[in-house]
């Protein structure tokens, strides 16, 4: 059974936090610019410079089995939720290796601040982590994974951390993010035709009496 995922949805009239039951995984795209480079071999993205734009993309799924509410009164923790993760710089995309036992989405406090940190950590062997900071009143309950709207993002404290083997180490600012449902595959006409042929057979089977063998 899937958890309800709360995301901020914009309409023409207003912006607000709404709860939507997701029938499919969701994708989070985090955008920003590179703010610090500790190591860059140029092997992954070509030469990277401070100020270059990046996009971190995560596809993840939240279910009753992997979500744990947070006792502190804010959105909780999700274990092993990631289906994919990637980092794009200079129009080159690098796929992050997912490590299920270490991949989490979690919420924590920040020392010396009332703000809250929502962390996305897809791998234990490679760092491509988004650290999104929000004011505490941006979260409303513990029953769902809650991602407030990007207009509530505390940009001065939010960041991305990169540690890709011995090829690229650095950090980036976070300027915005987007959350979108991942579209489910659309059945082909042939699949619809096969379903129509099978339906009478399924109905006929349902009408068969169940025989109990003594």
- Domain-located, residue 19: yes
Residue 197 belongs to a domain: no
Cβ contact 199:51 at 8 Å: no
Encode the chain (214 residues) as per-residue pLDDT tens digits: 444 465 654 332 333 343 333 447 999 999 999 999 999 999 999 999 999 999 999 999 999 899 988 776 667 899 999 999 999 999 999 999 999 888 999 988 888 888 999 999 999 889 999 999 999 888 877 777 889 999 999 999 999 999 998 899 999 999 999 999 997 655 555 554 554 554 454 444 444 332 333 3
Q: What is the pLDDT of residue 93?
A: 97
Q: Is residue 58 part of a domain?
A: yes
pTM score, whole prediction: 0.77
Q: Is residue 192 part of a domain?
A: no
Is 64 among the domain residues?
yes
pLDDT of residue 108: 86
Q: Look at residue 208 and tell me if it is in a domain.
A: no
Domain that holds residue 149: 4-186
Q: Determine which helix (DSSP H) or strand (DSSP E) holds 195, and give its type and residue range.
A: helix 189-207
22 within a domain of the structure (yes/no): yes
List Cβ neighbours of 183 (8 Å cut-off, separation of 6 or more).
24
Give 104: exposed, middle or buried? Use CB within 10 Å, 0-12, 13-18, 19+. Answer: middle
Q: What is the CA radius of gyration of the chain?
A: 21
The C-alpha atoms of residue 120 and residue 136 are separated, in whole angstroms, by 18
Does any domain span residue 213? Answer: no
The 10s digit of each residue's pLDDT in 158-197 is 999 999 988 999 999 999 999 999 976 555 555 545 545 5
What is residue 101's predicted lDDT score, i.e. its pLDDT? 85
Q: What is the pLDDT of residue 109?
A: 84
- Count up the domains in the chain and report the number: 1
DSSP readout, 88-131?
A: EETTEEEEPPP-GGG-EEEEEEETTEEEEEEEEE--SSSEEEEE
């Amino acid at each position: 059974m899937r958890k309800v995922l709360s995301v901020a949805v914009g309409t023409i009239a207003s912006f607000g936090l709404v709860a939507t039951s997701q029938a499919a995984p969701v994708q989070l795209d985090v955008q920003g610019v590179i703010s610090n480079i500790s190591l860059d071999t140029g092997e992954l993205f070509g030469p990277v410079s401070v100020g270059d734009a990046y996009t971190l993309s995560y596809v993840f799924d939240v279910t009753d089995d992997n979500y744990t509410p947070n006792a502190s009164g804010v959105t909780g923790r999700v274990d092993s939720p990631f289906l994919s993760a990637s980092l794009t710089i200079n129009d080159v995309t690098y796929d992050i290796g997912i490590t299920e036992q270490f991949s989490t989405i979690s919420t924590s406090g920040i020392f010396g601040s009332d703000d809250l940190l929502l962390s996305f950590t897809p791998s234990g062997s490679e760092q491509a982590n988004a650290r999104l900071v929000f004011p505490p009143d941006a979260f409303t309950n513990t029953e769902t994974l809650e991602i407030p709207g990007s207009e509530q993002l505390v940009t001065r404290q939010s960041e991305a951390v990169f540690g890709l083997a011995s090829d690229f180490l650095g950090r980036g600012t976070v300027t915005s993010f987007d959350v979108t449902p991942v579209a489910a595959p659309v059945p082909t006409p042939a699949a619809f035709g096969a379903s129509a042929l099978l339906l009478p057979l399924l109905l006929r089977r349902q009408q068969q009496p169940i025989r109990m063998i003594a």
